[in-house]
Chain A
């Protein structure tokens, strides 16, 4: 029968890439082409754009990204625990699994509390 469960994923991917490239390609060939310097200038409400090259942005965005990586990886570690949790309970190791999970969650919460106390979660600071 079907060689792999993942075959469907790849067929769908191929179909979508063809559609996406097809749509962009069709619009490239079908669309009119009347470009002028004014038309292709960056959008800036009618005045000459300064561009975004030298633009600075708040370091908050960077901090959010860093704490996301930390917490997301911890969430990834939670998934195998959650997946096998009921097996632990059925083999009467439920308390063990619970305590271990709570220790992990506790560390996670400590991290969150630390960030909170440091004001990392207050966007206006």
Chain B
């Protein structure tokens, strides 16, 4: 048995499906449920409450209990909805959210301590157009929200989905400008190469990189419809907007998609500006401090854990900001996107290009 598993022809496939199962389980089975719990606990602490603490140790199994509850809830379909699109929308929300995970490199190249013939990437699909893939998949999120609002045939839903669509496309533009600056600096759209380009200087510690980061972060919050950009939900005026009519598991999928989206964008932020899985900035890589990332078959775990820790930090920032800041007004939101972030983004692209040509680097 062991001989079959470890034989040279089977091993790449084990590695291939192992990566997919690992990321999939981690995304849907660990990060999203734990994040929902973290959000509720942090909210409780910010508001001087206790929060969910009954189900399992510290309330950690709360999300599991909620999941089972949602599964057993009535599959309600209101009278006025357009049935096909009403069901399609939540499915469309959950699927693209996690599709971007396919190109996230979560660790250095490894041969698993010599088990594989040649170094392979810890990435489900090592696409050389990874960044374009992420942008393309990310744009699909608008469809689920627009469809959900339109299919619900409820005025609150329609208003919420209109707001959400306008907001998401506006900030997608700002995000695109930040990303073009990153491409200019790294000279690649392969996410693995973008991390490699930061070996000697994480992009956050360069002037144009820092500006791009300042554009990227608000865009990240707006793309996920999180506070301070949660106008599509606006509980008090729109009754949570585009998913007013949704309940049970269909609502659960929207909820799950929000957390998976947050994880994806946090991962992108770490890959673009914080050196991915690399240890410390300014050339202090894992090799630089004497850690062999390819010594044993499990040696990639430490860089991976470091990458996960960085992503976790940004996930915490999402939660932290949500329970600290109030909501924008809609004209302020659109103004910030079009009149501040996009012009800064354009200027930043010119700045990077100028620095590379005339300054010999950035």
A118 at the interface (CB under 8 A from B): no
Query: In chain B between 276 and 299, which residues have their CB closer than 8 angstroms to a CB of chain A?
Result: none
Q: Which residues of A contact B176 (CB under 8 A)?
A: 72, 75
Q: Which residues of B contact A95 (CB under 8 A)?
A: 357
- The 8 A CB mask of B14-46 against A (1 = contact, 0 = none) is 001101100110001000000000000000000
Q: A20-B91, A42-B153, A51-B80 are in contact. Are A64 and B170 (CB under 8 A)?
A: yes
Please tell me if the beta carbons of A42 and B79 are within 8 angstroms of each other in the complex: yes
Please tell me if the beta carbons of B79 and A105 are within 8 angstroms of each other in the complex: no
- The 8 A CB mask of B75-111 against A (1 = contact, 0 = none) is 1111110000001001100110011011100000000
A114 at the interface (CB under 8 A from B): no
Q: Which residues of A contact B72 (CB under 8 A)?
A: 27, 30-32
The distance in angstroms between the C-alpha atoms of A57 and B98, with both chains bound, is: 32
The distance in angstroms between the C-alpha atoms of A48 and B125, with both chains bound, is: 51
Please tell me if the beta carbons of A9 and B95 are within 8 angstroms of each other in the complex: no
Please tell me if the beta carbons of B356 and A89 are within 8 angstroms of each other in the complex: yes
Q: Which residues of B contact A9 (CB under 8 A)?
A: 99, 102-103, 124-125, 127, 133
B162 at the interface (CB under 8 A from A): yes
Q: Which residues of A contact B199 (CB under 8 A)?
A: none
Q: Which residues of B contact A61 (CB under 8 A)?
A: 162, 165-166
CB distance from B230 to the nearest CB of A (A): 17
Which segment, of B53-61, B243-251, B317-325, faces chain A? B243-251
Q: A17-B95, A65-B169 are in contact. Are A98 and B28 (CB under 8 A)?
A: no
- The 8 A CB mask of B112-141 against A (1 = contact, 0 = none) is 000000000000111110001100000000
Q: Which residue of chain B lies nearest to A15 when distances are taken between CB atoms in the complex?
A: B24
Interface residue from A12, A52, A97, A115 paired with B153 (Cβ < 8 Å): A52
Q: Which residues of B contact A23 (CB under 8 A)?
A: 71, 249, 252-253
CB distance from B127 to the nearest CB of A (A): 5
Q: Which residues of B contact A109 (CB under 8 A)?
A: 343, 346
Query: In chain A between 85 and 125, which residues have their CB closer than 8 angstroms to a CB of chain B?
Result: 85-87, 89, 94-95, 97-98, 101-102, 105, 108-109, 112, 115-116, 121-124
- The 8 A CB mask of B149-185 against A (1 = contact, 0 = none) is 0001111111100100110011011001100110110
Q: Which residues of B contact A35 (CB under 8 A)?
A: 74, 76
CB distance from A6 to the nearest CB of B (A): 6
Q: Which residues of B contact A40 (CB under 8 A)?
A: 76-79
CB distance from A13 to the nearest CB of B (A): 6
| Chain B contact residues, CB within 8 Å of chain A | 12-13, 16-17, 19-20, 23-24, 28, 70-80, 87, 90-91, 94-95, 98-99, 101-103, 124-128, 132-133, 152-159, 162, 165-166, 169-170, 172-173, 176-177, 180-181, 183-184, 187-189, 239, 244-245, 248-250, 252-253, 330-331, 334-335, 338-339, 342-343, 346, 349-350, 353-354, 356-358
| 10 tightest A-B CB contacts, nearest first | A27-B249, A123-B331, A8-B125, A94-B357, A86-B187, A8-B124, A82-B183, A75-B176, A68-B169, A98-B357
List 26 A-B residue pairs with CB atoms under 8 Å apart, sorted by A's residue number.
A1-B12, A5-B125, A5-B126, A8-B16, A12-B20, A12-B23, A12-B99, A12-B102, A13-B99, A20-B90, A20-B253, A27-B71, A27-B73, A37-B79, A39-B76, A42-B152, A49-B80, A55-B155, A68-B169, A71-B342, A79-B183, A98-B357, A105-B349, A105-B350, A115-B338, A121-B339
